[in-house]
Chain A
Amino acid sequence: MNEQKTNDLILQTVTKLVSFIILLFSFYLFLSGHNAPGGGFVGGLITSSSIVLLLLAYDLKTVRSILPINFIYVAGAGLLLAVLTGVGSFVFGAPFLTHTFGYFHLPILGKTELATATLFDLGVYLVVVGITMTIIQTIGEEE
């Protein structure tokens, strides 16, 4: 995987395990932001930190081949999503960025509270991941 003969075996093996734990924890923090500490910002930062760990253990090229994403588009999609959740309240005649919630019966989870603020949070999450990864990849590839 690496052309240069470095002995990064320990770091790379641990990264394979640990980055999934970090991704799972960031997903947990993102979903728990309504009733507990967490939310889109922290979740996005921790997700991008797991990708940064991959960048440190492997090459920039390897990570590009794993995640062939232009992260500027991720940030743009997040901004678009956040604005659309604000604009969507105009459809129901409410002021801008009015959020609502409801209780639904989901198959496995049972009675769950679903709020439209989660969609706004998803926008924040995508913006944070996109901006952080764009900054770090831009710094990393300049020599």
Chain B
Amino acid sequence: MIVIAKIAVAILILMGALICLAASFGTLRLPDMYTRSHAASKGSTLGVNMILLGVFFFLWFITGEISAKILLGIFFIFITSPVGGHLICRAAYNSGVKLDERSVQDDYNGIRNFVIKRKEDSYL
């Protein structure tokens, strides 16, 4: 039982670290901001969540402590990290960051300047 738990924990943590590494390679190698954000937000969300799940199972099986903080952290990162990626992408698009030249279609092109116009009367 303990051996199986240790193997499962090791696989989870190693897979999480490898997915984080793949996400950082994607952030380095992809051509424009949007594809980089695609790699970074998805990859780091899954990678960090797998590492946290591995730590949760480690604490549960090895030391016998069920840590609700880690479950809450998994839930929290799972909700907030994609929203952070969405907001960064939207801010980049609204401030005029170009797509890669190999892109074929840009359906938001007409309404890009929408937020720039109301920058004068925003609060924060």
The interface of chain A, by Cβ under 8 A from chain B, is: 4, 6, 10-11, 14, 17-18, 21, 25, 55-56, 59-60, 140-141
Contacts of B83 in A (CB 8 A): 10-11, 14
A25 to B71, CA, bound (A): 12
A14 touches B80 (CB 8 A): yes
A-B contact pairs, 26 of them (CB 8 A): A4-B121, A4-B122, A6-B114, A6-B115, A6-B118, A10-B83, A10-B86, A10-B87, A11-B83, A11-B87, A14-B80, A14-B83, A17-B79, A18-B76, A18-B79, A18-B80, A21-B72, A21-B75, A21-B76, A25-B72, A56-B124, A59-B123, A60-B124, A140-B123, A140-B124, A141-B123
CB distance from A18 to the nearest CB of B (A): 6
Contacts of A17 in B (CB 8 A): 79
A60 to B76, CA, bound (A): 25
Q: Chain B interface: which size bin?
A: 10 to 19
Interface Cβ pair total, 8 Å cutoff: 30
CB distance from A11 to the nearest CB of B (A): 6
A95 to B79, CA, bound (A): 49
Residue of A nearest to B83 (CB): A14
**Which B residues, 86 to 124, have Cβ-Cβ distances below 8 Å to chain A?**
86-87, 114-115, 118, 121-124
The interface of chain B, by Cβ under 8 A from chain A, is: 72, 75-76, 79-80, 83, 86-87, 114-115, 118, 121-124
A59 to B115, CA, bound (A): 15
Residue of B nearest to A139 (CB): B124
Residue of B nearest to A53 (CB): B80
Contacts of B123 in A (CB 8 A): 59-60, 140-141
Using A4-B118, A11-B87 as known contacts, say yes or no to A55 and B124 having CB atoms under 8 A apart. Answer: yes
A25 to B87, CA, bound (A): 24
Contacts of B121 in A (CB 8 A): 4
CB distance from A101 to the nearest CB of B (A): 25
